[in-house]
Amino acid sequence: MIQPSNEFSADWAGRKLTIGTGQLAQQAHGSCTVRYGDTVVLCTAVMGETKEEYEHFPLMVDFEERMYAAGRIKGSRFVKRDGRATDEAILSGRMIDRAIRPLFPSHITNEVAVVSTVLSHDGINDADILGLIGAACALAISEIPWNGPIAAVRIGRVEGKLIVMPTYTETELGDLDLVVSGTADKTIMVEAGATQVSEADMLEAMKLAHESLLPVIELINEVVQAIGKAKVDPTQPKDDVQATKHAANTEAQKKAWAFLESKRGMLFANPLRSKADRKAAVSKLKKELVDNLDTLGIGKDEYAKAVAIMDRFVDSEVTKLILDEKRRADGRALDEIRSLGAMVGILPRTHGSGLFERGSTQVLSTVTLGSPGMEQTLDTMELQGTKRYFHHYNFPGYSVGETKGGGRGPGRREIGHGALAERAIMPVLPSKADFPYTVRVVSEVLGSNGSSSMGATCGSTLALLDAGVPLSEPVAGIAMGLASDEANNRYQVITDLQDVEDGTGGMDFKIAGTKNGITAIQLDTKTSGLPWNIVVETLEQAKKARLQILEEIKKAIPTHRAEMSKFAPRIESFHINPEKIRDVIGPGGKMINGIIDALKVEIDINDDGTVMVTSNNPESMQRAVDWIKELTREVAVGETFDGEVVRIMPFGAFVNILPKVDGLVHISEMALGRTEKVEDVVNIGDTVKVVVYEIDDQGRINLSMKRLDPDYVPSDKDSKPLRKK
């Protein structure tokens, strides 16, 4: 028997938000549906057994789109079922992950799976916010240990007016797409794309976002109060054997921590400038710990737990150094950026290239320009259309000195980092009308130590300018970090986050933009949330860093190149009468494919009659342009042609003057004086010179041969010369 759904509702941004429980996915440890408009998302949370072999919390978050939710069948001719997650779904899943992960207890090693599945999509209300709200509710009502609830909200801005939970249309029309997750007074996760929005305006939007979270948090608390389960501590022993092992591990960690405490202050006593030096210092201390495990009375069975304490100790040392001594492990000031480097044009055959360095983070970006027909086709639950700019990000193992092989395709991290850099650049790209090329940027991370995604953003700017793409402004990005002691309400923002600084109590607050404002934000934190003053301070400090990096970019290339690479294709754009498009296409595409095959060009035609011919060969491109113009040429009164006689009638001859365009030379217009018979002057196959003297109201073209005769004198018997009715 199907159970009825328990429904809890609240008015939110002018629409009803409904959470339903008890009907679907009853075997999950926590499950609910979230509805807003006609968009419905099913969210579930399940916790597995403790996995002691894991050193880090194994959380898995998936956002699953279903084409049926939007009433659509997949466009592929060969694959009709939903397959691998789209990039958009992966980005939504990563967003949910970053919002909920910080609120799990740090000591648990149980596998936890959170899945948000879109069951219905109305094309008006985005499902990703509902997926995050539902994930928070499913965790909150389950027995899974989690320090929620939280909520999420999207903020848009159209013509200067902020909008809570904008529709798709409002988001597309606006200059801001901001997602904030957290409590009413603390920020946990931020995603933003913006068209050079100022820091002040961004903070105003974030403040509105926090105010808008409260109704949702209250709704989730209402659900928890009604059906919430008591939380469990999966680390508590269930029997005597587990109790003995747990006690031994706990004692081993205490002894290991005491040993490390005796070394406090020594790890970063002197500035360690390079990543290799810091890594060597940590490894040396770790070896000392391992060498002393027997002396400390720690048995081999407890070795792993004892050594695992090392990461916590390093994090605490870095935090103490910053909070107490206002200095960093590498000796930098708290607001100091590592050494910067920027170069362009380093590859001979790419259409544009840029190399960007920040410390030991090194990114090589390249640009490839293609015809409009090379645009990416989008066929997802939410998006149908094309995409003319895309950025691909690669992160090989050698960039961090690891032996990880390639050939496995991009992972979730690569897709997420690539999308962030792409989002940062998109607001400054020229319009398609001004720059009709399809643009692909690829960023190869050659060395990574702190925010390679922001390195990819800077590298993309360099490469695009080198390729001659007329960006409205160069874009740069920086990752901001944090050292914190939440128990004592102590925080310190740091500029240009790197390796050992990205630990417990920290944050990764990436901010990209131009000199005029912000174009993209991405925040995740390892705290229970950021107080408002930290958010404000971070944006102000990040702007100073961004402007410094922009100066470095301008030193390498002040503006886009006036001339594109000789290896880049050229595009000739012109307009034809839309009614003539069929003449260019030809039956079954025969005509256009014939031009393409003969001249090795690419041809794109829009419905409005815009034709774009793309080629690396100027001569072939011009021949293709001339060919198409001849096919679509509009005949004008007064034009002369050398045409072929194709048909003879008693009253005159039809002459072909353009492909598929014939005109009539009346017998009276063939020669000076009287002509008794058409064949006395012309025969089929003859080439004759004619002038267009009239185009009648039915579009028929009347031609004359005699009017080109030097001795021709108009008479009253002739039609009025050179006229169009």
Distances (CA, A) of 147 to 87, 231, 310: 29, 10, 25
Residue 723, pLDDT score: 43
pLDDT digits (tens, 9 = 90+) for 272-287: 778 888 888 888 888 8
- State mean pLDDT over 205-210: 96
Does position 680 have pLDDT exceeding 60, yes or no?
yes
| The token pair that represents 77 in the structure block | 């001719």
CA-based nearest residue to 93, from 63, 55, 127: 63
Task: Decide the pairing of beta strands 389-394 and 438-447.
Answer: parallel
Q: Report the DSSP beta bridge partners of residue 7.
A: 20
Q: State what percent of residues in the chain have pLDDT above 70.
A: 95
- The predicted-structure confidence for 572-624, as pLDDT tens digits, reads as follows 999 988 988 998 998 999 999 999 999 999 999 998 999 999 998 989 999 99
- Given this model, what pLDDT does residue 722 score? 46
Classify 255 as helix, strand or coil. Answer: helix
Encoded amino acid at 4, one letter: P
pTM over 0.95: no
pLDDT tens track for 29-41: 999 999 999 999 9
Question: Cα–chain-centroid distance for residue 557?
Answer: 25
CATH of the domain at 504: 3.30.230.70
pLDDT exceeds 80 at position 11: yes
Q: Looking at residue 392, what DSSP letter applies?
A: E
In a domain, 508, yes or no: yes
Q: Is 603 in the same domain as 659?
A: no
Tokens at 127, concatenated: 């499902």
Helix or strand (DSSP H, E) at 585: helix 581-585
| Residue 471 confidence (pLDDT) | 97
d(CA 29, CA 22): 11
Bridge-partner residues for 658, per DSSP? 661
Q: Give the tokens for residue 258.
A: 């005491």
CA–CA–CA angle 686, 687, 693 (5° rounding): 120
Which pLDDT does position 721 carry in this prediction? Answer: 47
Per-residue pLDDT tens digits for 149-159? 999 999 999 99
Residue-level pLDDT at 502: 85
Q: H or E segment at 586? A: none
> By percentage, how much of the chain surpasses pLDDT 90?
61
Q: How many domains does the chain have?
A: 5
Give the pLDDT of residue 50.
77
DSSP state of 327: -
Residue 364 and residue 475 in one domain: yes
Residue at 563 is within a domain = no
Distance between CA atoms of residues 690 and 641, nearest Å? 5
Kindly tell me the burial class for residue 399, based on how many C-beta atoms sit within 10 Å of its own C-beta (0-12, 13-18, 19 or more): buried
Of 510, 528, 556, which residue constitutes the final position of a domain? 556
- Which of 556, 581, 605 is at the close of a domain? 556
User: 644 in helix, strand or coil?
Assistant: strand
pLDDT of residue 248: 55
Cα–Cα distance, 703 to 713 (Å, whole number): 16
Strands of the sheet with 610-615, listed across from one edge: 570-575, 610-615, 602-605
Buried b or exposed e, range 260-276, using 16+ CB within 10 angstroms:
beeeeeebbeeebeebe
Question: Residue 90's closest CA among 113, 121, 116?
Answer: 116
Same domain, 597 and 651: no
Q: 504 with 613, same domain?
A: no
652 and 677, same domain (yes or no): yes
Could you tell me if 255 and 222 lie in one domain? no
Q: What is the DSSP letter of 55?
A: S
- Residue 233 in domain: no
What was the pLDDT predicted at 725?
Answer: 39
**234, part of any domain:** no
Cα–Cα distance for residue pair 554/249, rounded to 1 Å: 55
- Which tokens belong to 533? 């003053």
* Domain presence at residue 344: yes
* 597 and 519 within one domain: no
- Domain membership of residue 330 (yes or no) is no
Q: Tell me the DSSP string of 57-87.
A: --EEEEEE--GGGGT---S-SS--S--SPPH
pLDDT (0 to 100) of residue 407: 62
Task: Give 724's pLDDT tier (boundaries 50, 70, 90).
Answer: very low
| Alpha carbon distance 231, 227 (integer Å) | 13
Residue partners of 84: CB distance under 8 A and separation at least 6: none
Q: How far apart are CA 14 and CA 18, in angstroms?
A: 13
pLDDT score recorded for residue 209: 96
pLDDT at 719 over 60: no
Q: For position 354, what pLDDT does the model report?
A: 97
Neighbours of 27 (CB within 10 A): 7
Task: In whole angstroms, give the CA distance from residue 110 to residue 714.
Answer: 100
Mean pLDDT of 198-223: 96
One domain for residues 181 and 151: yes
Helix or strand or coil: residue 346? coil
- Encoded amino acid at 308, one letter: A
Tens digits of residue pLDDT in 212-269: 999 999 999 999 999 999 998 876 655 555 555 555 567 777 877 888 888 787 888 7
Across the strands, what pairs with 12? 15
What is the band of 373 on the pLDDT scale with cuts at 50, 70, 90? confident
Length of the chain: 725
Per-residue 3-state assignment (H helix, E strand, C coil) for 96-134: HHHHHHHHCCCCCCEEEEEEEEEEECCCCCCHHHHHHHH
Q: Last residue of a domain, which of 293, 325, 357?
A: 325
Whether residue 202 is contained in a domain is answered as yes
**Whether 542 and 647 share a structural domain:** no
Is residue 642 within 8 A of residue 688, CB to CB? The reply is: yes
- Check whether 341 has a pLDDT greater than 60: yes
Q: For the domain that residue 651 is a member of, what is the CATH number?
A: 2.40.50.140
Tens-place pLDDT, residues 113-148: 999 999 999 989 999 999 999 999 999 999 999 998
For residues 420 and 548, state if they share a domain.
yes
Provide the 3-class DSSP secondary structure of residue 518. strand
* 625 & 644 share domain: no
Asked if residue 670 and residue 625 are part of one domain, the reply reads no
406 vs 203, 513, 515, CA distance in Å? 41, 32, 37
What range defines the domain where residue 620 resides? 570-632
How far is 577 from 632, CA to CA, in rounded Å? 7
**Domain membership flag for residue 246:** no
Burial class (CB in 10 A: 0-12, 13-18, 19+), 11: exposed
Tell me the per-residue pLDDT of 41-90, one tens digit each, with 9 for 90 and over: 999 999 998 776 666 788 999 999 998 888 888 777 777 787 788 889 99
d(CA 41, CA 70): 12
